Amino acid sequence: MTLSGIWGIITKIIDVCIVWYLVYFLLKNLKNNIKMVLIFKGIIIIIVLKLLSNILNLVTLGLLLEYVIMWGPLALIIIFQPEIRTVLEQLGRSQLLGRHKALTGDEREKITNEIMDAIEYLRKNRFGALIAIERNVSLQEYIAPATKIYADISSAIIESIFYPNSALHDGGVIIQGTRLTCAGCVFKTSMDNKLNKSLGTRHRAALGLAEESDAIVLIVSEETGRISIAMDGAMNYNLSLEEFKRQLYDALSPKTEIFYAADDGGEGNE
């Protein structure tokens, strides 16, 4: 096989991979947007009707559908400009190779313990809390308008932020790596109709952030003191302290850690 032939195969593979990623990204965001789901269904119906009009020779219907198909994309761009902008922003924020600093075992242990001490205190006193931990997808759009802190993570700081008399207790906080970056963040709420109606704004905001990013979002209910974790577009509700700590620690672990362990040849642990 010639060099040009090999290069042609490589470019085709790259082409397929890029198309696959774009389709995956669009479908992933489509399922979390009710308006876009309805539009997608409408497009499918129009295509089916057009095929039927061609098969059954329905001239009038076919002519109307041709106008719809001709001008429909322009109308969709104008009507759904905010939704399209949101999807493009998410694509711009996504990082294929990851952007967050991989935490060491000691750092994960320290962060988990500090957060758990704060969660236990807030849960016991029924102080509502919303904590987002950034991973691969940047949360800069929420950081920019928030109150900057840039402090090492500590249970005392988290507890003081969410104390009821604190000026920042109604918003969320964002953690980046080993630092508590900001407080007073306002997250977009989820529009998922399947979410329990009894859950309040904090839980909806947490799920909304988990739907549009890969952040780990921790919630303490002000009404019940129940603790939950939202990530990967799902809500793990009313966890015990042990379950909460295990899920948090596992979520903070780098995905490549298992390969490092295999390379060690089983000669001891980290």
Q: Record the pTM.
A: 0.62
Domains of the chain (ranges; CATH) run: 3-93 (no CATH), 105-257 (3.40.1700.10)
Q: What is the pLDDT of residue 87?
A: 61
Q: Are strands 216-220 and 227-231 parallel, antiparallel or unpaired?
A: antiparallel
What is the rounded average pLDDT of the residues 94-120? 78
Q: Which residue has the higher pLDDT, 185 or 43?
A: 185
CA distance 65 to 164: 58
Q: What pLDDT does 200 receive? A: 86
Instruction: Report strand pairing: 172-176 vs 179-185.
Output: antiparallel
Q: Which of 42-46, 91-95, 121-125, 252-256 has the lowest mean pLDDT?
A: 91-95
Report d(CA 194, CA 204) in Å as an integer. 11
CB contact burial 202-213 (16+ within 10 A = b; e otherwise): bbbbbbbbbbbb
Tokens of 204: 């909806």
Of the candidates 103, 206, 102, 116, the one whose C-alpha atom is nearest the C-alpha of residue 158 is 116
pLDDT value at residue 33: 57
C-alpha to C-alpha distance for 200 and 152, rounded to whole angstroms: 29
* Structure-block tokens of residue 57: 């020779």
pLDDT tens for 137-166 read: 888 889 989 999 999 999 999 999 999 988
Kindly state the tokens that stand for 248. 């948090």
- pLDDT value, residue 116: 96
Q: What is the pLDDT of residues 11-49, one digit of tens each?
A: 889 988 988 887 777 676 665 555 666 777 788 888 888
In this prediction, residue 267 carries a pLDDT of 41
Position 231 scores a pLDDT of 92
Task: List the single range of 36-40, 59-63, 105-109, 263-267 with lowest mean pLDDT.
Answer: 263-267
33 torsion bin: left (phi>0), alpha (psi -120 to 50), beta (else): beta
Residue 261's pLDDT is what?
40
pLDDT digits (tens, 9 = 90+) for 192-231: 777 777 788 899 999 999 988 889 999 999 999 999 999 9
pLDDT band at 118 (very low <50, low <70, confident <90, very high): very high
Residue pLDDT, tens place only, 257-269? 433 443 444 444 3
Backbone torsion region of residue 234, taken as left when φ is above 0, otherwise alpha when ψ lies between -120 and 50, otherwise beta = beta
Say what the pLDDT of residue 85 is: 67
pLDDT at 141: 86
Amino acid sitting at position 51: L
Tokens at residue 256, please? 């490549």
Range 62-72 average pLDDT = 84
Amino acid symbol at 139? L
Q: Is the dihedral of CA 116, 175, 93, 142 positive or negative?
A: positive
Rounded to an integer, what distance in angstroms lies between the CA atom of residue 134 and that of residue 116?
Answer: 17
Mean pLDDT over the full length of the chain? 82
Which of the four pLDDT bands, split at 50, 70 and 90, describes residue 66?
confident
- pLDDT of 119: 96
